[in-house]
Structure 1
Amino acid sequence: MTKVRLSIVAALSALALAGCSSSGPPDASGSTPPPLPSSAPAGTPPGSAAHLGTPRDLATGLAVPWAIAFLPGGDALVTERDTARLLRVTPAGKVSTVGKVPGVSPAGEGGLLGVAVSPTFTRDHLVFLYYSAASENRIVRFEYRGPGISGVRTLVTGIPRGPIHNGGRLAFGPDHLLYASTGETGRGGLSQDRSSLGGKILRMTPDGKPAPGNPFGTLVWTYGHRNVQGLAWDRQGRMFATEFGQDRFDEINRITAGHNYGWPVVEGFGGDRKRYTPPLLTWTTDEASPSGLAYAGGSLWAGALGGRRLWQVPVAANGTVGKPVAHFTARYGRLRAVAAAPDGSLWVSTSNRDGRGDPKQGDDRILVIPVS
């Protein structure tokens, strides 16, 4: 049976590379497919309606702050893609440099990307980083016990690197295992090749080994991705990811072990649902080009690069999603990292100095946005 594509009518002015769009329509909502079969009662309402307070500048004068991860006590570690600096930012806005990460080779969309803090940091003091070396992307870790970066241990090598689509997000799941997103570097065939680490979501132990229960006995958790840059889990432990489309549809996907998400065969809805898992919702690429993703207040929050806004996606009790709502359209420019802080607020970084934005005085910055 032919799948009916559900999408809003929007100006299809997206560029050939996801994340390259300069702006989108003022307030457009993503498209959602008919709900998948569920045991939840019909008409289950979306997640609780969260409200955003007024954003405030926490830190300014940064250079492409790419990822944010919180330490016990509320301070955050922040990566700068192009400088290879790892920063520490306090809730009061004090910024200090932990150190420059050795081995990083910034160019194009590569550089110092993801950061994750061990869920048992108070015991092991481990910090994990994803970065682009000269010819590959790597995942490393080090013990953060004081000033500076030393004793860096390489965990995963051989992740394809290119001028575009390097993935790069790192996050610990509710299972205390480390997840990493990788891109296909513009070579779509890598996404369907399960022997390649490109175009995948990986799942591993803190030592960088394939996690117990991985579907193929390797690091690969899911495949068929183009360029995932956002990972998040809701209160029920369900995993979600943002994904760049090419020139038609960006996606939010519900991530399930072993599933094939279709790239490059399928972009957005369509294709053989028995082979390719469809997205929860899509946007046109000028509305989104979604990067960082967080869960707070019953909603997913996705930073939009090309769309230059913060998308709110309510999540229902059964895991389906409601109609997306756009916030702060064109107010702060390109939005990259989105992280849920220990106090319940969102920390959101801009990416206006990445060569595709229009920097304003104070850029790049980290915003704090209250959620109630």
Structure 2
Amino acid sequence: MRKLWTIMLMAVLTACSSGLASDGDVPPAASGGPGQPKDVATGLAVPWAIAFLPGGDALVTERDSARLLRVRPDGKATSLGTIPGVRPEGEGGLMGVAVKGEQVFLYYSADQDNRIVRYRLSGDRLSDERVLVRGIPRGGIHNGGRLAFGPDGYLYASTGETGNDRLAQQRDSLGGKILRMTADGAPAPGNPFGTLVYSYGHRNVQGLAWDPSGRLYATEFGQNTYDEVNLIKAGGNYGWPEVEGKGDDPRFVNPIVTWSTGEASPSGMAYAKGSLWVAALRGERLWQVPLKADGSAGKPVAHFTDRYGRLRAVTSAPDGTLWVGTSNKDGRGSPRPGDDRILSITPS
């Protein structure tokens, strides 16, 4: 009997001493994790970003088809058309989308650069196209692409260094940066360098989110060792390519979370219920990153590991759920029946 109890105790201690937490297939009631995902829309092709309209419908970009879709909460999807000028190739194509009233903002790869454009949406009709920002470096990889309006009312955009490391440290380049601008594409008042650049030293940022205190967080792809979540400060230098992950150089801002690249490759991110929710591409899971009162991070918890494949888009919906998009048709995944899809998940 004593031997049996010893074996049981060792098993419990082994389970408790594992690394990053994961709910695996434990039911939400037992794990305290999010509710079971429900399909909102299926049969999509690389849904890159999701943004909600004032009436509750969502706009969804498809990277490789360059289509902009309108998706209702009941899952009905309508194409608003193919965005002109988009040249999908590699990791480029139609990427970020943001909404402000009747205005729709898109980030896309053109022939020679990445651009941010603005349209007016009336019903299902796009009009009044205006290019706000040209000349963002584009490449076969690392094009950034996230767009989001911050609580300050300004538009933020994430860019990548296209595999050209030196661009990240060049403050006169738009590559490897987080940009902050007005709705007309001008540098936002108070930007640290008087340009569009808000922070620099980034490798490839694809996720932006704010907490209720107005703090900005960003996900960032590492190279071979560490992926990151960073707390973004105006004018901050986040170290690439001089440092990957946490370092000891006071010139650079350290991340609040790091993962091995096999666990994450973090893309879209949203805030809900006291946590950041991060979509993992290579890691094929949804990371929950609890936030502390000072903006630092608690221990990340992995949800739905290997269940839905590559995850890219995460957005908070008006009803309090998270809409999460898969990316299994992007050339690096294994499509499953119904892919690509948008899932609705209730955070906890």
TM normalised by structure 1 equals 0.85
Match of 1:352 among 313, 322, 328: 328
Output aligned runs, 1:88-237, within 5 Å. 88-118=70-100, 121=101, 125-237=102-214
Aligned to 2:266: 290
Gaps of 5+ in 2: 1-17, 22-30
Match of 1:80 among 62, 68, 75: 62
Q: Does structure 2 conserve the Cα–Cα contact (< 8 Å) formed by 1:50 and 1:299?
A: no
Count of aligned positions: 322
**d(CA) in 2 for partners of 1:241 and 1:320?**
13
Q: Does structure 2 conserve the Cα–Cα contact (< 8 Å) formed by 1:28 and 1:287?
A: no
- State the 4+ residue runs in structure 1 displaced beyond 6 angstroms: none
Q: Secondary structure in 2 aligned to 1:152?
A: strand
Q: 1:330 to 1:133 in 2, by over 3 A?
A: same
- Per-residue CA deviations over 1:85-139 (Å, capped at 9, x if unaligned) read 0001111111111111110000000000000001xx0xxx100000000110000
Match of 1:337 among 300, 309, 313: 313
**d(CA) in 2 for partners of 1:28 and 1:79?**
36
Q: Does structure 1 conserve the Cα–Cα contact (< 8 Å) formed by 2:33 and 2:303?
A: no
Q: Does structure 2 conserve the Cα–Cα contact (< 8 Å) formed by 1:100 and 1:149?
A: no
Q: Does structure 1 conserve the Cα–Cα contact (< 8 Å) formed by 2:327 and 2:340?
A: yes
After TM superposition, give the deviation of residue 317 of structure 1 in Å: 1.2
After TM superposition, give the deviation of residue 29 of structure 1 in Å: 2.3
**d(CA) in 2 for partners of 1:224 and 1:158?**
18
Q: Which has the higher strand share?
A: 2
**d(CA) in 2 for partners of 1:117 and 1:51?**
30
The more displaced of 203-212 and 70-79 is 70-79
Aligned to 1:44: none
Corresponding letter in the other structure for 1:164: I
**d(CA) in 1 for partners of 2:238 and 2:32?**
29
After TM superposition, give the deviation of residue 149 of structure 1 in Å: 2.6
After TM superposition, give the deviation of residue 320 of structure 1 in Å: 1.1
Match of 1:301 among 277, 295, 309: 277
- Per-residue CA deviations over 1:159-207 (Å, capped at 9, x if unaligned) read 0000000000000000010000000000000000000000000000000
Rg larger for: 2
Q: Does structure 2 conserve the Cα–Cα contact (< 8 Å) formed by 1:136 and 1:161?
A: yes
**d(CA) in 1 for partners of 2:227 and 2:326?**
19
Aligned to 1:277: 253
Aligned to 2:38: 56
After TM superposition, give the deviation of residue 50 of structure 1 in Å: 7.1
Q: Does structure 1 conserve the Cα–Cα contact (< 8 Å) formed by 2:118 and 2:130?
A: yes
Corresponding letter in the other structure for 1:29: L
- Per-residue CA deviations over 1:263-302 (Å, capped at 9, x if unaligned) read 0000001141x20000001000000000000000000000
Q: Does structure 2 conserve the Cα–Cα contact (< 8 Å) formed by 1:130 and 1:170?
A: yes
Q: Does structure 1 conserve the Cα–Cα contact (< 8 Å) formed by 2:63 and 2:94?
A: yes
**d(CA) in 2 for partners of 1:29 and 1:264?**
27
Q: Does structure 2 conserve the Cα–Cα contact (< 8 Å) formed by 1:309 and 1:327?
A: yes
**d(CA) in 1 for partners of 2:126 and 2:112?**
22
Q: Secondary structure in 2 aligned to 1:149?
A: strand
**d(CA) in 1 for partners of 2:342 and 2:67?**
15
Gaps of 5+ in 1: 1-26, 31-48
Q: Secondary structure in 2 aligned to 1:196?
A: coil
Output aligned runs, 1:245-284, within 5 Å. 245-272=222-249, 274-284=250-260
TM normalised by structure 2 equals 0.91
After TM superposition, give the deviation of residue 319 of structure 1 in Å: 0.9
Q: Does structure 2 conserve the Cα–Cα contact (< 8 Å) formed by 1:293 and 1:302?
A: yes
Q: Which has the higher helix share?
A: 2
After TM superposition, give the deviation of residue 74 of structure 1 in Å: 1.4
After TM superposition, give the deviation of residue 371 of structure 1 in Å: 2.0
**d(CA) in 2 for partners of 1:226 and 1:367?**
28
Q: CA RMSD in A?
A: 1.2
- Per-residue CA deviations over 1:34-92 (Å, capped at 9, x if unaligned) read xxxxxxxxxxxxxxx97411101110000000000001121100000000000011111
Q: Secondary structure in 1 aligned to 2:167?
A: helix
Aligned to 2:13: none
**d(CA) in 2 for partners of 1:354 and 1:110?**
11
Q: Secondary structure in 1 aligned to 2:297?
A: coil
Corresponding letter in the other structure for 1:240: Y
Q: Secondary structure in 2 aligned to 1:307?
A: coil
